[in-house]
């Protein structure tokens, strides 16, 4: 994956169930594949780790050297996570 677009949307996400206040959206720039993850709190660290492991496992046979070259976000404080920058 060359570039991913990330965003965190705030508001009640009724479609995801009660208690979800945030929607973490991830879009692959090349394939336009999109993932959305419901969050109860603003911390995206755990959701990012689970998503990364899931996608790496799903594409292990297709992509031998799985790496993300660039992340694009709106520079919100929720995206300033050292763990995300080192994976």
Residue 85 has pLDDT above 80, yes or no: no
pLDDT band at 7 (very low <50, low <70, confident <90, very high): very high
Q: What is the CB neighbour count within 10 angstroms for residue 60?
A: 10
pLDDT at 80: 65
Residue 37 has pLDDT above 70, yes or no: yes
Domains of the chain by start residue, with CATH: 3-80 (3.30.420.10)
Strands 34-39 and 22-28 come out as antiparallel
pLDDT band at 67 (very low <50, low <70, confident <90, very high): confident
């Amino acid at each position: 994956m060359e570039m991913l677009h990330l965003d965190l949307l705030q508001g009640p996400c009724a479609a995801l169930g009660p208690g979800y206040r945030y929607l973490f959206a991830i879009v692959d720039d090349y394939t336009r594949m999109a993932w959305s993850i419901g969050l109860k709190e603003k911390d995206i660290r755990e959701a990012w780790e689970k998503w990364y492991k899931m996608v790496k496992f799903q594409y292990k046979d297709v992509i031998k050297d799985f790496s993300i070259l660039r992340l694009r976000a709106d520079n919100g404080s929720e995206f300033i996570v050292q763990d995300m920058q080192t994976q």
